[in-house]
């Protein structure tokens, strides 16, 4: 039994296609492989993992709001909504749990429209370019942030 709420790992559009989607960019790991890796990382750090994927922006908003109640921290790969969604930014700002932004690829090294991230404005930090390993790193960071807040509760992230 963990002393801390679970980390919610939230995934945005088209990430359900991992494994077949542009493998030269995203590799061959499937989302199920990444989910398994996240559960392993959670077990190493003594937290449960709730793993979700949706292709719908509003559903991601709902999942962020739920995480605000039920998670100790959020790890989020917002996929293309990273670069477009003020709604996701507002949702992350509206919940009192830390968020870590994760990308498989390195968006800043790709097309110019991938360089800006709305989500980064509400994230404690971002991890990009390490493939699936980024999720494990994100979970480690999220747990550290959550435990630091548990030990020294302060308003803010």
List interacting residues with ligand DQA (CB under 6 A).
14, 77, 79-80, 82, 103-105, 107, 114
Question: Residue ranges of the alpha helices (H) in 71-132?
Answer: 86-94
Least Å from the CB of residue 17 to ligand DQA: 9
Give the end-to-end CA distance of the chain in Å, rounded to a whole number.
26
Least Å from the CB of residue 107 to ligand DQA: 4
CA-closest candidate to residue 73, choices 47, 112, 36: 47
**Whether residue 45 lies in the annotated active site:** no
104 or 149: CB nearest ligand DQA: 104
19 or 48: CB nearest ligand DQA: 19
Please tell me what DSSP assigns to residue 25.
Answer: H
Least Å from the CB of residue 97 to ligand DQA: 21
127 or 145: CB nearest ligand DQA: 127
**Whether residue 26 lies in the annotated active site:** yes
* Residue in 8, 81, 103, 118 annotated catalytic: 103
* Residue in 26, 81, 118, 135 annotated catalytic: 26
Least Å from the CB of residue 50 to ligand DQA: 19
Half-sphere exposure of 28 (CA within 13 A, CB side): 0
Query: What's the CA gap between 67 and 6, in Å, rounded?
Result: 9
**Residues 14 and 30: beta-carbon distance below 8 Å:** no
Question: In angstroms, how far is CA 87 from the centroid of its own chain?
Answer: 16
**Catalytic positions, written as ranges:** 26, 103
């Amino acid at each position: 039994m963990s002393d801390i709420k679970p980390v919610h790992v939230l995934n945005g559009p088209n990430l359900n296609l991992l494994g077949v989607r542009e493998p030269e960019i995203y590799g061959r790991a499937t989302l199920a492989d990444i989910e398994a890796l996240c559960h392993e990382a959670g077990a190493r750090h003594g937290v449960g993992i709730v793993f979700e994927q949706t292709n719908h922006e509003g559903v991601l908003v709902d999942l962020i709001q739920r995480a605000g109640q039920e998670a100790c921290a959020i790890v989020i790969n917002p996929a293309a909504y990273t670069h477009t969604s003020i709604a996701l930014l507002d949702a992350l700002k509206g919940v009192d749990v830390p968020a870590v932004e994760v990308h498989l690829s390195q968006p800043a090294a790709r097309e110019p429209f991938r360089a800006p991230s709305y989500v980064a404005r509400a994230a404690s930090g971002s991890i990009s370019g390490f493939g699936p390993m980024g999720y494990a790193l994100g979970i480690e960071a999220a747990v550290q942030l959550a435990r630091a807040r548990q030990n020294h509760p302060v308003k803010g992230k």
